[in-house]
Structure 1
Amino acid sequence: MPKIVFIDADGTTKEIHAEIGQSLMSAAVQNGIDAIAAECGGSCACGTCHCYIDGEWSDRLPAPEFQEQDMIECVVNPNERSRLSCQITVSAELDGLVVHLPAGQY
């Protein structure tokens, strides 16, 4: 199971192990990552699973599709590393992924 490192806005770090094939959002919710609200349940319709992919990892992920790009425009404090965790599928290649969490989703 790939290890994912979440870094909260206050610098608190939490490592989890995620199942291959599940969404990053699902793994976060199942492991008590409170900054990922996931209100729409992963249907790319709300932006409450917004996160920032660490710069070391951002080029290793597939580019966001149009619907995700559209939703990212609606989140609080988007930047070039913003992603919706519901749109990232955990794979063996993501072992060690570092994800920064926003201070808030609203």
Structure 2
Amino acid sequence: MPRITFVSPDGGRKTIDAPDGETLMRAATQHAVDEILGECGGACCCATCHVYLDDASLARLPPASEMERQVLEFTAAPRRKGSRLACQVLADRLSDGLIVELPATQI
């Protein structure tokens, strides 16, 4: 199982084991990562699972789809180069060891 670490805006860390093939959004909500809301249930239409990834992590993952890039235009927290929607990133061998920074707000 891939291990993913979520870092809160206050610096707190929560490392979880995410099932292979599960989205980071679903894994986060199942492990009570409070900063991930996922209001649309993973349909890539609400941006309430916005996260930040560093350059090294981005290079390991498939790029964001056009749909994800469009939805990222509507995030509540500022968008950064490493912005992704957790509902569009799968837990797998490529995401094992990711450090995912959480924005201060999703709404």
Normalising by structure 2, report the TM-score: 0.95
What is the aligned residue count?
106
- Matched to 1:17, the amino acid is D
Give 1:5-16 correspondences, 5 Å limit.
5-16=5-16
Partner of 2:3: 3
Please list every run of 5 or more consecutive structure 2 residues that lacks an aligned counterpart in the other structure.
none
Instruction: Give 1:99 shift.
Output: 0.2
The CA RMSD over aligned residues, in Å, is 0.8
Q: Following superposition, which runs of at least 4 residues in structure 1 exceed 4 angstroms of deviation?
A: none
Identity %: 43
TM-superposition CA deviations, 1:48-74 (whole Å, max 9, x none): 000001333111111100110000011
TM-superposition CA deviations, 1:50-105 (whole Å, max 9, x none): 00013331111111001100000110211110000000111122211110000001
2:61 and 2:94 in contact (8 A); partners too: no
Please list every run of 5 or more consecutive structure 1 residues that lacks an aligned counterpart in the other structure.
none
Normalising by structure 1, report the TM-score: 0.96
